[in-house]
Amino acid sequence: MNPTKANTHSGSQTSFINAANQSITVNGIPFAYRDTGPTTGVPLVLFNHWGAVLDNFDPAMTDGLSQTKRVIATDYRGIGGSGGTAPLTVGEMADDAIQLIHALGCETVDVLGFSLGDFVAQDIALKAPKLVRRLILTGTGPAGGTGIDKVGTVTWPLMLKGLLTLCDPKFYLFFTSTPNGRRSASQYLQRLKARKKKIATKARRPTLSCGS
């Protein structure tokens, strides 16, 4: 492993929507990340859902967490602002994450995953148990768990619905179809627009506003 930081800054009190886009090179591959919150204590590392980039982390969530913890959010290899070719397996993604955490100089971390990020988080804990102090899983299940094999059949129609309605698929994927769910989805998508300096990506789909 040969890590090289493009920015040696570790953590800041700025909001996530204004946090600097940073990069660190691990094994010749640049990984994009943002680093907010206090510079002391055990960092919390975030891993997002399938197809997500740094700009898809909810700033309301990250800002709430960074009030008391250093929060590090990153793009997977080959996704968003990170270089290289996207991995084909969760195991490869977890290997990348472990090396990235070490490259950032962290000996112990808390890990929070969402959806695909939960799969990655679980594998990190299995492969490097001494690295992970706390594991926070949201919207997931274990390998072979009930319903896990049906993820594709559930999500693809919702993604197609987003494309056909010119609406960000997250509007349908992550929120209920109730009035309150639709309202929350619209508010979430609006929060994602608050950042002015987006992460540079190889291919980017615009985040559109959706009706309630």
Over residues 159-202, the pLDDT tens digits come to 787 677 777 878 877 788 899 988 988 888 888 888 776 665 54
Phi/psi at 32 (nearest 5 deg)?
A: -80, 140
SS3 114: strand
The structural domains of the chain, ordered by start, are 4-145 (3.40.50.1820)
CA–CA separation, 157 vs 65, rounded Å?
A: 33
For residue range 68-111, what is the model confidence (pLDDT) as tens digits? 999 999 999 999 999 999 999 999 999 999 999 999 999 999 99
In this prediction the pTM is 0.80
